[in-house]
Chains A and B, each alone.
Chain A
Amino acid sequence: MRIEARHKNDIVIFDLEGEIKRSDITDVTLHQLVKEQLDSGKRKIILNFDAVEFIDSFGVGEILASYISTHNLGGKLKLVKISKKLFLIFQVTMLTKVLDIYEEEETALKSFF
């Protein structure tokens, strides 16, 4: 998994790439990266899944942990371009009720304002 961070104004966009799974844990996890941004004072975060090929329950756990951390600090975490597969899983687990999910990055960006 590769994670690149971009900044648009005060919004941090994480571009995720490859597979997010338990067997492929990197030195720095998504949650740690999000926490670093939160620690640096950022409160608006977008996770872009456009280049994500696969995500397992571990990956979903990372997203949820990131969500809690952001939420606890009064920030907002939004998801864009998630695959249909992931959307299905979020629906069944009712996470669509909690997470902000957008089809396009632009829409997600606008939603912060």
Chain B
Amino acid sequence: MAKNRLRSVLSRVVDIKPGEEVIAIFLFLYFFFITSPYYIIKSLRNASYLSGLGDEKLPLAYFLTAILMGFIVTFHSRIQVRLPRSRLIIFSLAFFFSNIILFWWLFEQGWKWVPVAFWVWANIFAIVLVTQFWILVNDVFNPREAKRMIGFIGSGAQLGAILGGVLAGVLARKAPQLLLPLAAGMLGLGIVVVSAIFKRRGQKSEEINREARDNLVGSNKVGFRDAFETTRQSPYLLLLAGIMMATLVVSTLIDWQFNSIVSSKVEGESNLASFFGYFNAGTMFFAFLFQLLLTSPIIKAFRIRGALLFYPLILFLGTGGIGLAALAGIIPLVPAILIKASDKGLAYSLNQSVRELLYIPISPEQKYKSKIFIDMFLNRFAKGLGAIILAVLLWLVPRAPGPQGGQGAIRYISLIVLAIIAVWVFLNFRIGREYGNLVKGKLKKQYERGDLLVDQRLDVDFTKLVFDTLESKNRSSVLYSMNLFDLIRQDKLTPEVRKLISYRTDEIRAASLGGMFEQTETGLGPKTEDELSEDVLKKEVQEIMNLDVYQDVMKDYLEKTLADRSAGAEVARMEAAKAIGFMGSRAPLVGKLEDLLEDGSPEVSRYAIQSAAALKRRVDVPVLVQKLKSPALREDAMDALRKFGPRIAGTMSDYLADRGEDTELRKTAAVILASIGTQEAADYLSWELTGAGDALVNEIIDALDRIRTADSRIRFPGETIRVTISKETRLYCQDLVDLHNGSQPLEENASRRREKRLSDRLWNIFKLLGLIYPQEDMIKAYQNLKVGTKNSVAYSLELLDNILERDIRDIIFPVVEDLPLEEKVKRCRNLLAGFGGGKDRDG
């Protein structure tokens, strides 16, 4: 009950699912209790340093921090693999808690080096604790969960920062001695929250953690070097590292600009501490609102690729403005505040969230190694690099006396910042693309498609012919010989087939071609001098059958045979039908095939259909098409028509489009067009897609899918496919709503049929998506959705989220998203309402 209430409150600000409420709140509080003390510490840090040492000494502080971070990373890497995650985090929190108490005492002593040590320590505090927080978030959530909740969890940091900043702003003037004990107290509460998280999530987190640690320990070279190597060897991690470098160098330069401008306008340590306190609080209030209200919607709407560009582009505009102002001889406090506020506000909201999302698809081993290198070391190294750039620039452009003395440097810094942002944007484009590839890589194809496997691996014609050959053994030696010859003609009389066919050869072997080959080739009899090469046999038979004299000799026989309707004459007609297939298509006797195709005996017709397939005469096409209506002959007629290839694409499309035609015939026409597989065939099928009723839509979609599978160069009309996706989704929703309409429960059979239809429609949607997006990716996404594990579904959705255009994504996500049934039905209802409701297919 309490959980439901909690969920109902949370669901107003975050897209949360049942069971996620408590962990979301705990992580929110964890982040809150490490950022609120940090923002008290940060205000004190800036104020004590600037008033004690001045802004010109800031590069020294940045540089010292960068150097020290190398040692911290090495140390952290080592203890990270030795300690369980829970102990590592709680130990770190306790360590920093004791440090705050120590600095409280040190500040009272008034020693000059304390502000420097405090600056460096404060940075280490922030980097270590924030990195550990995000490592835990990575342990707990998959990309979909993280995307949904990152806005809410991240807002804990902004709220903490606001509180910390306001407390620093108020207390810096009234009771500065209380700031550090207050920070320590907040951190102590953080320890309590983290303990509760591990108690609750203990088992799962520890399992993941153990696995990652085992991998790390197994690699036998844990430490700074290994963390560096892991990053260096992965192009993706290198991009992440590059982005981090660019971000922080820019941030450092902006930070200097801001501090320089502020210190020229605000005087006195307590005033500075108070200013920074209020400024930080204000910035974080902006970041909090941004994080809570805009981060998730921006990521959702613009995806990671688009969201990555927001932060650098805003800084680009702001820095450009400051540079122009400095060029005009103004030191602009308000623009400096705005750009710093944007920098910090976005850095701690959108940018941090997006960056953390970028880590999620990489393996735990890579993640932990690279994260400590990138987030801890590189973070500070970049600040150090920024410091070096600053130091060089301040050396080249020395500060002039007076409050406006920093103008020259500010101008040049703006230019450098703009150049680095350009590189940063480029890297963001690259990593956006790589992220999609990485998500794809996380999805394995679960199984090969059975229908396509049968097509690829089973030669249906060959199988039929072998069966016909075996079957004809007991019927007639002539028919048997003809079937064997057909195998030879098609180069399919392999040793295996000979062996198969020669099994049980007692009946008619002696008098047949089969006997000949069986004796000579299979070792069943002595090799004879009459051995006949297959090539000679093919040539001779062909030539004989095309002789005029042969046609004359056989004419009477065939006429008599065809006229004989006695039961015993069926085999003779089968032989005749088979023999005609060996003749040239212009041979006079081939005309007899029309009668044989219409023969009352399905067996005779079947042989005639096979011969029609071999001869490929257009005149036989209408009869073959009519045979599609006969269940006994449909498969043979279909195979025969397939062999005509692109020549009959137009004819097949006419049948497909003819609403007055037999439905089965129209379905088969779609199958034949699929096997023709040309662009023309695809176009005909696509034209029919829009108006296809329920009876035909599955076949047409399947046919298009087969064409796409066979030839990725074929193009499909995007608009038609989109409309059909939308239609299929609507019908899926309609079925889902009907199936789970509480007031009128469906009887079992109807319910099962509806379930089957839902499943077919979902598959149709993905087949259609595969026509306009990379098909392999769509199959992977579909299969992993069907597998239904939490991660397989999450990565499938992430893949779709990255690939699909917004309009398509908005339509199909209610159908594919991992939601409780009740929620899914609700979303389907909304979608149907959006569509205007109603079933449009087949009334």
Contact = CB atoms under 8 A, between A and B. Distances in A.
A68 B528 CA distance: 32
Contacts of A61: 544, 547, 549-550
Contact of A92 (B485, B511, B539, B572): B485
Given A57-B540, A57-B547, A92 B481 contact: yes
A84 B477 CA distance: 14
Nearest to B545: A93
B478 A91 contact: yes
B513 A92 contact: yes
A56 to B, nearest CB: 6
Contacts of A57: 539-540, 543-544, 547
Contact of A84 (B485, B528, B540): B528
A91 B544 contact: no
A89 B550 contact: no
Interface in A58-113: 60-61, 64-65, 67-68, 83-85, 87-89, 91-98
Nearest to B483: A92
A56 B539 CA distance: 10
Contacts of A68: 549, 552-553
Contacts of A56: 540, 543
A65 to B, nearest CB: 5
B462 interface: no
B582 interface: yes
A64 B550 contact: yes
B557 interface: yes
Contacts of B397: none
Contact of B544 (A60, A84, A87, A96): A60
B541 interface: yes
Interface in B564-613: 572, 575-576, 579, 582
Nearest to B549: A64
A91 B481 contact: yes
B516 A84 contact: yes
Contacts of B543: 56-57
Nearest to B478: A91
B554 interface: yes
> What secondary structure prevails in chain B residues at the interface with A?
helix
The 5 nearest A-B residue pairs measured at CB: A57-B543, A91-B481, A84-B530, A64-B549, A92-B485
A62 to B, nearest CB: 9
Contact of A85 (B477, B530, B575): B530
Interface of A: 56-57, 60-61, 64-65, 67-68, 83-85, 87-89, 91-98
Size class of the contact patch on chain B = 20 to 34
Contacts of A95: 544, 550, 553-554
Given A85-B530, A98-B554, A91 B537 contact: no
Given A61-B547, A89-B544, 14 more contacts: A57-B540, A60-B550, A64-B552, A65-B549, A88-B512, A88-B537, A89-B540, A91-B481, A91-B511, A93-B550, A93-B582, A94-B554, A95-B550, A98-B557
B532 interface: yes
B544 A93 contact: yes
B161 interface: no
Given A92-B582, A93-B544, A67 B478 contact: no
Given A57-B544, A89-B537, A97 B572 contact: yes
Contacts of B481: 88, 91-92
B487 to A, nearest CB: 12
Contacts of A97: 478, 557, 572, 575
A56 B481 CA distance: 19
Contacts of B582: 92-93
B574 to A, nearest CB: 11
B576 to A, nearest CB: 7
A60 B537 CA distance: 13
Contact of A96 (B478, B485, B532, B539): B478
Nearest to A84: B530
Nearest to A56: B540
Interface string B175-197: 00000000000000000000000
B482 interface: yes
Contact of B579 (A83, A87, A88, A94): A94
A84 B510 CA distance: 10
Contacts of A67: 553
Contacts of B512: 88, 91
A59 to B, nearest CB: 10
Given A92-B481, A97-B478, A85 B553 contact: no
B517 to A, nearest CB: 9
Contacts of B544: 57, 60-61, 89, 93, 95
Contacts of A85: 516, 530, 532
Contacts of A88: 481, 512-513, 516, 532, 537
A11 B48 CA distance: 135
Interface in B23-71: none
Contacts of B532: 85, 88
A57 to B, nearest CB: 4
Contacts of B537: 88-89, 92
B513 A64 contact: no
Contact of A93 (B511, B528, B541, B572): B541
A35 to B, nearest CB: 13
Nearest to A67: B553
Contacts of B550: 60-61, 64, 93, 95
Nearest to B539: A57
Contacts of A87: 511
- Which of B512, B544, B582 has its CB near the most chain A CB atoms (within 10 A)? B544
Contacts of A65: 549
B469 to A, nearest CB: 13
A83 B674 CA distance: 48
